């Protein structure tokens, strides 16, 4: 009898790789009217809402990221690309699975069980997935399997804001990061916050899931293959 071959570990497109480095903070400056800028800012450094994005190098081979994965980190540009375009965060070649119930997301059940409305209105910075990759994510992602993965469909995954780092003016008139608690690091900045937006260096795009229903992934796959 032959032992089953373990499925090879799939590294999602958005996962950061060793060798990909954030750009040094020395490239950041202050705008004359207040707020952050790059000293050599160019097209693509800001999103449609005018928020500045963290720069990070990319190592590609034939269009695919290479280097060993840094599992707990995502690459800002690749996360933004998939979340903005609603493409699969694992394979990127597929658009996210979409049915009449909406786009497919996989979420971890929140620790805070007092959120009675969850998952309606949930904020997520995990881009959506195609069906095939959703199965892989549930099988292989240790964070998801520990928390209990929940497959969701959202009819309206609207753009909400960004995760990242808030800056202020330092003593030498250079931008310095505002020190925040670990909990506060996971609180997204809504795009509607016009006051703080110019001072934010974004690293992940956040969507607010509306019109959400919890779905059975196995049933979804069976339906898709029928």
Residues that bind Zn ion (CB under 5 A): 88, 90-91, 94, 130, 133
Angstrom distances, CA of residue 81 to CA of 12, 13, 46, 84, 93: 13, 10, 13, 5, 12
Q: Which is nearer to Zn ion, 84 or 94 (CB)?
A: 94
Task: Please tell me the distance from the alpha carbon of residue 139 to that of residue 146, in angstroms, as a whole number.
Answer: 11
Helix 131-140 to helix 217-225 angle (10° resolution) is 150
Q: Which is nearer to Zn ion, 133 or 189 (CB)?
A: 133
Q: How many residues does the chain have?
A: 226
φ/ψ of 77, rounded to 5, equals: -65, -40
Q: Which is nearer to Zn ion, 130 or 189 (CB)?
A: 130
Q: Which is nearer to Zn ion, 91 or 123 (CB)?
A: 91
Structure tokens at 223: 């339906």
Q: Which residue's structure tokens are 């005018």?
A: 50
Structure tokens at 225: 């293959």
Q: Which is nearer to Zn ion, 130 or 201 (CB)?
A: 130
98, 100, 103: which is closest to 122 by C-alpha? 103
122, 124, 151: which is closest to 135 by C-alpha? 151
CB within 8 A of 142, min separation 6: which ones? none
Q: Which is nearer to Zn ion, 37 or 86 (CB)?
A: 86
203, 170, 162: which is closest to 23 by C-alpha? 203
Query: How would you class 39 by CB atoms within 10 Å of its CB: exposed for 0-12, middle for 13-18, buried for 19 or more?
Result: exposed
């Amino acid at each position: 009898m032959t032992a089953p071959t373990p499925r090879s570990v799939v590294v999602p497109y958005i996962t950061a790789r060793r060798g990909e480095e954030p750009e040094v903070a020395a490239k950041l400056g202050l705008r004359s009217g207040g707020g952050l800028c790059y000293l050599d800012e160019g097209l693509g450094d800001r999103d449609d809402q005018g928020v500045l994005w963290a720069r990070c190098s990319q190592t590609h081979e034939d269009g695919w990221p290479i280097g060993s994965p840094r599992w707990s980190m995502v690459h800002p540009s690749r996360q933004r690309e998939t979340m903005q375009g609603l493409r699969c965060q694992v394979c990127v070649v597929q658009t996210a699975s979409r049915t009449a119930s909406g786009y497919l997301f996989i979420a971890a059940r929140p620790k805070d069980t007092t959120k009675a409305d969850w998952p309606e209105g949930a904020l997520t910075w995990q881009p959506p997935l195609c069906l095939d990759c959703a199965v892989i994510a549930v099988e292989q992602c240790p964070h998801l399997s520990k928390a209990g993965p929940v497959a969701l469909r959202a009819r309206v995954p609207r753009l909400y804001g960004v995760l990242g780092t808030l800056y202020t003016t330092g003593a030498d008139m250079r931008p310095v990061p505002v020190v925040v608690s670990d909990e506060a690091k996971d609180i997204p900045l809504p795009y509607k916050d016009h006051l703080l937006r110019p001072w934010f260096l974004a690293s992940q795009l956040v969507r607010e899931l509306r019109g959400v229903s919890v779905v059975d992934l196995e049933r979804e796959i069976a339906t898709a293959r029928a």
